Homo-oligomer: A and B are copies of this chain.
Amino acid sequence: MLERRRKLWGWGYESRQAPPDEVEQIARGAREQLGFEPAEVEHPPRLEDIELPSPRLEPPAALAPICTSEPYERVTHAYGKAYRDLVRALRGRFDNPPDVVAYPRDEAELEQVLDWCSSAGAAAIPYGGGTSVVGGVEPRVPQAAAVTIDLGRLDRVLDIDPVSRAARIQAGATGPALEQQLKEHGLTLRHYPQSFEYSTLGGWIATRAGGHFATLQTHIDDFVESIRALTPSGVWESRRLPGSGAGPSPDRMLIGSEGILGVITEAWVRVQEAPRFKVSASVSFARFAEGAEAVRALAQSGLYPSNCRLLDPGEAALTGASRDGALLVLGFESADHDLEPWMARAEELCRDFGGESRRKGSGEGTWRDAFVGAPYLRDHLIAAGILAETFETAITWDRFDGFVAEVRERAATALGPEGRLTCRLTHAYPDGAAPYFTVLAPARRGSELEQWDEIKAAASEAIESAGGTITPHHAVGRDHRPWYDRQRPDPFAEALRAAKAAVDPKGILNPGVLVDP
């Protein structure tokens, strides 16, 4: 129902589907490079070979034009993009596809869809880019039927306020779509999660997505000026305010609500002029620990680098960024002023920890290309029988070294002797940092989900029990629930459940996410 079709399986649009022989070649090469035994390369099922349960409900006539139960639509909306989603889809296993996919074109139609779900007793699952890696859009629901609401047609930048540097943008706008529209006005949001090409503003807000900036505006949270959402009990719209102290923030209750309180339809976000001054450097450290000390010093310095990503030696080598030692990708950007004094002081701080800095021009771009390309590569890894997953957290500096060591060790044990585990720091705060782990291991063909469960549980137990957060920017969804439930304060859980019941009395919105239905 949208102009550009997403692949039936894997990351991206159909136009970027690699031909089978290229997949074979990359997949075999990856196993070889990782030192894994050769294995058969699998190919995704054809649509006609996928068996789907019959749709259990039909839209009312008035909504028929914006609803579909075509197999392609049900299949492509059945999962997010977690490893376990891709494996199941690769095997043609679709146990819980949505019965109907709705594409509202405006709020009136969205309201009608919600009304219909309410009266039909169907679950309503808001869907942005479908890039959830935590089961956030998967219709595993107690209801007898599920309607997935794809916001893809609400993709416009509706208003620009160049004076306040803010823009009103519809929730279904993807990263490229909104940046393209902002660019016409000389503005940019500069929120670049790895899913940037496909994920949407609404999805970012609903999941507290992490973005471009390593310090200060690390999350979409920090760009939100106001939000408009439809709930089954009416419109939840906050005022455009640069700051407020009027009670608990209504926006902060929607930010991270993952579709359980309402469907976000648009938001005013803080935008900026494109940076005219950029300075970047690669700083090498003998060990990850010294690099982390430098990141701490930088985060506590008040210099606020835009980029401050520390790769451990394994990750630096794997991405081709450095051949030995840890590597800090450091950058400053501004639309207002030259940043040489900023960078000079940052390099001084790095030298205190043995960092050797090398200035560069396009380094950050290269790294970003690799970063954005990673999900495409992952498809090939999975086809090659390689378990490829990430898990991430955030922890205060006082616990940092022991925490990372503990998580590494427990995850490595679960991964097995052939597994590879690397780590980078994605965001840096005065009081801590967000470590992001990537794991690669030969998949146990046929029991990948069990294997994933073991690794995920080992890592998550380590993170949760050592005091980290189960998710710094990938949301809770359905997959993180066991650890999230232990992490959050109990009275807060009661408050959130009650809040949901108040605005969604029939419990139709994304049931099972964050709280029990």
Contact = CB atoms under 8 A, between A and B. Distances in A.
B246 A487 contact: yes
Interface in A246-260: 246-250, 252-258
Count chain B CB atoms within 10 A of each CB in A233, A257, A472, A495 and give the residue with the most: A495
B166 A431 contact: yes
Contacts of A161: 396, 398, 431
Interface stretch (A21-29, A113-121, A449-457, A473-481): A473-481
Interface in A276-302: 296, 300-302
A380 interface: no
Contact of A492 (B253, B304, B484, B500): B253
Contacts of A484: 246-247
Nearest to A494: B502
Given A247-B496, A491-B236, A468 B430 contact: no
A490 to B, nearest CB: 6
A408 interface: no
A334 B240 contact: no
A432 B242 contact: yes
A358 interface: no
Count chain B CB atoms within 10 A of each CB in A218, A242, A398, A434 and give the residue with the most: A242
Interface stretch (A67-75, A207-215, A440-448): A207-215
Nearest to A475: B245
A234 interface: yes
B496 A242 contact: no
A473 B242 CA distance: 12
Contacts of A345: 336-337
Instruction: Count this chain's copies in the assembly.
Output: 2
A461 to B, nearest CB: 15
A62 interface: no
A469 B236 contact: no
B491 A503 contact: yes
A241 B497 CA distance: 23
A262 B491 contact: yes
B336 A244 contact: no
Contacts of A430: 164-165, 242, 270, 272
Interface string A486-514: 01111110111111111100000000001
A245 B234 contact: no
B245 A473 contact: yes
B247 A163 contact: no
A488 B246 contact: yes
Contacts of A58: none
Interface in A333-353: 334-337, 341, 345, 349
Contacts of A467: 239-240
A106 to B, nearest CB: 19
Contacts of A225: 396, 431
Contacts of A216: 216
A165 B166 CA distance: 33
A224 to B, nearest CB: 11
A164 B238 contact: no
A188 interface: no
A210 B245 contact: yes
Contact of A471 (B244, B431, B432): B244
Contact of A487 (B209, B239, B258, B480): B239
A469 B245 contact: yes
Given A225-B431, A341-B341, A488-B250, A243 B219 contact: yes
A87 interface: no
Interface in A410-459: 427, 429-434
Contacts of A247: 256-258, 476, 484, 488, 496, 514
Contact of A398 (B163, B272, B468, B469): B163
A362 B166 CA distance: 37
Given A430-B270, A468-B241, A302 B336 contact: yes
A166 B431 CA distance: 7
Contact of A480 (B246, B429, B490): B246
B303 A337 contact: yes
Contacts of A111: none
Q: Which 7 A-B pairs have the closest CB atoms?
A: A242-B432, A498-B502, A242-B429, A495-B499, A252-B252, A208-B245, A498-B498
A248 B255 contact: yes
B248 A257 contact: yes
Given A236-B489, A491-B231, A301 B337 contact: yes
Given A252-B248, A495-B253, A495-B261, A432 B334 contact: no
A376 interface: no
A294 B253 CA distance: 33
Nearest to A495: B499
Contacts of A394: 241-244
Contact of A241 (B210, B218, B432, B475): B432
A258 to B, nearest CB: 7
